[in-house]
Chains A and B, each alone.
Chain A
Amino acid sequence: MSATMDKNEGGFRAWLNKRLPVDQFMADQLTGYYAPKNFNIWYFFGSLALLVFVMQIVTGIFVTMHFKAGEATAWNSVQYMVREVPYMWLIQPMHAVGASFFFIVVYLHMARAFMYGSYKGPRELLWVIGMLIYLALMAEAFMGYVLPYGNMSYWGAQVIINLFGTIPGIGPDLVEWIRGDYGIGDATLTRFFSLHVIALPFIIALLVLLHLVALRQVGSNNPDGIEIKENLGADGKPKDGIPFHPYYTLKDIVGVGLFLTLFAIVVFFVPTFGGLFMEAPNFEPANPSSTPEHIAPVWYFTPYYAILRAVPDQKLGALLMALSVAAFLFVPWLDRAKNKSIRYRGLASKLLLAVFFITFLMLMWLGLKPADGIYVLLARIFTVLYFAFFILLPFVSKADGNGPVPDRVTYDAH
C-alpha cells in the first residue's frame, strides 16, 4: 500500500520526518514487526482491550462533565444527566456497560495466556505488568461503581472497605483512613472520584504502554507455543511471521467490528443485562439504614467474593481472597513445562486447565448467589479446586509438558 507521493506531500512528509520519527515508527512497529501467522480467535482480545480502554476514557470524559461528586449531589446528578442532557441517556450506559465488557475481554485475554503459555519466559514480565493492569482495573471499576452512590454502591463499598479491617494490627485505622470518616460518605466519595477520573486512568495508561513495549521487545507468542524467531528465512525475517501491518491491522478491524456489534446490542437493547451489568438495588439511592437483600459485587469480582464467603473465618477468608488474586502473579514460575502451549502437553495438563476454567466460572456464578444451602458447600469445593490448580501446576507441568514440538507453526489458510 504505497502512497503516491506528489511533490507537496513529499515535502510535508520530509519536513515532518526530520522532526518526528513517523515513518521510522511505522516501519519498526507496524510493517516491520513480524507476528506469528497462526493467531486464532483468542488473539483478538488484546487489541479489543485497548479499544474498550479508549471507549471508557471518551465516555468517561463526557460523564464527568455532568457528574457532581458529593454525598448530596451524586445520585441526583446521574439522574439529571441521563434524563435531561442530550444523548447522555446513551453515553452513560455505554460507560457502565463498557466496564463489564472490559472485564469480559480481559478475562478472555488472560485465558489465552493460560492456554498457550504466553506467560512463560521470556514473557514473565509482560505477564506481571498485565497482572498489575488487572489489579489497577479492579480498583478502577470498584471506585467507579461507588460514584453513582446507589444503594449497592454504598453497601458494596462498605463490605469491601471493611475487608481491609481484617489486616492484623493496622486494620481498623486503615479502614478509617481509606474512608476519610467514621463511615462511608462525602469524604470517601470525593476521593474515589479523583482516583477514578485521574489517578488510576493515568497509571493504567502507563502500564498499558509498558505492556506494549514489553511485548514488542520479546515478540508475540502463538497457539503452538514455539518461538518463531528461532526459524529465520533468508531475508532475516521469521519464516512463520507476517508483518503486523497490513495483516493483523486488517484482521483486528474485523474483530473490532464484531465486538462493537455485540456491544451495541447490549447497550441499546439490554443495558442492565438482567441485572448483571447494572444491579437493581443500585436504582435506589444510598441508604445507610437499609441493606439490600443480597449484597453482591458486580459479576467480575464474584469469583473472589465466593472464595471470601466460603471460608467460615473472616480474617482467613480475606487472606485467602487476597491470595487467590495474588496467585496469578506466580504462574510464570509455577509452570515448569518445557512446552508453552496446551496443544503439546499431555492429558493431565489439559484436564487441570479445564478444571481451573470451570472452577473460575463456577465461583463467579456462586458469588452471585446467596450464601446458603447447597451453595455454601459448592463454594467450598470450588475454592479447594481453585487453589489446587496453583499447587498442582508445578508438578503436572513438569511431568507432562516435555514432548516434541514441531519447528513450524500449524497454519490453515483463512
Chain B
Amino acid sequence: MSDHAADDTVPEVDESRRKFLIAATAGTGAVGAVLTAVPFVASWNPSESARAAGLPTEVDLSKIEPGQMATFFWRKQQIYVVKRTPEMLATLSAHDGQLKDAKSEKSDQPVYAKNDQRAIKPEVLVLIGTCTHLGCLPKTRFTPGDASVMANWPGGFFCPCHGSKFDLAGRVFEGSPASVNLKIPPYSFEGDNKLIIGVDAPAKGVA
C-alpha cells in the first residue's frame, strides 16, 4: 500500500484509525451532499406565482341552468360543476351493483363529499374533470337511455380515450379501464349562489 521511495523503516500503519477516519470523512461528506441537494430538489416545488395562480376560484351558481354543466379552472385542472335536477339525482340509487365503488371507499374526495350523492348540496356536483384512468377529459352523456354508451345508461360521463364510464355522481362503472371514482376537489359555499372551489367547507358534520 505505502509504496514509495522510503529509505527508513516503515512505521506501523494504524489500520483501525484509518478506517475510522475514512468513515468519518465519507459520512460527513454524504450528509453534506444530501443537504446540498435539498435546495436544488426543493426548487422544483410550485413557485410563489404558481401558488398565487392556484388561489380559489369563485363560481356564480345562478348562471348555471339545472341539468347543465359548466367548467372552470382551478390549480391548472378542469373542474366540472353540474346543477343536478331531481330526475338526475333519482338515477343515483338504482345501479349500485354495476359500480366498482358505490360507497366511494377507495376514491379521493373531501370528507363532506363521501356520501351517496358525493356532494355537500345534492343539487350541485363538483368534480375534477380528469379521467382516473390515464387523465383524459370525460365527456358529458347526461341523457338517460343513451344506448351508444351502454344498455340502461342512467346518464353520466363517458371518457372517449379508453371507454371508462361514470354516473351522475362521478362513480365508475364495472367494465371501465378506470378503477376509482372521479376525484372531488375541496369546495364550499358562500351564501346560496356562490361556490368557492379550493376552500374546504368548515367541518360541521356531513351535509
Contact = CB atoms under 8 A, between A and B. Distances in A.
- Is there a direct interface between A and B, measured as CB atoms under 8 Å apart in the complex? yes
Interface of A: 1, 37, 58, 62, 65, 80, 83-88, 90-91, 233, 235, 237-243, 253
Contacts of A238: 5
Contacts, number: 46
B134 interface: no
A235 B43 contact: no
Given A1-B22, A58-B40, A90-B39, A85 B47 contact: yes
Interface in B1-40: 1, 3-5, 18, 22, 25, 29, 38-40
A80 B49 contact: yes
B48 interface: yes
Nearest to A83: B48
User: Main secondary structure on chain B at its contact with chain A?
Assistant: helix
Looking at B22, B43, B47, the one whose CB has the most chain A CB atoms below 10 A away is: B43
B45 A86 contact: yes
A400 to B, nearest CB: 31
Given A84-B47, A84-B48, A86-B47, A233 B5 contact: yes
Contacts of A91: 39-40, 43
User: Main secondary structure on chain A at its contact with chain B?
Assistant: mixed
B203 interface: no
A24 B137 CA distance: 56
Given A233-B5, A239-B5, A242-B4, A86 B22 contact: no
B150 interface: no
B151 interface: no
Contacts of A87: 38-40, 42-43
A90 B40 CA distance: 10
A85 B29 CA distance: 27
B3 A88 contact: no
A88 to B, nearest CB: 6
B14 to A, nearest CB: 14
Contacts of B29: 253
Give the 6 A-B residue pairs with the shortest CB-CB distance, closest first.
Answer: A84-B48, A87-B39, A239-B5, A85-B47, A84-B47, A87-B43
A237 B18 CA distance: 25
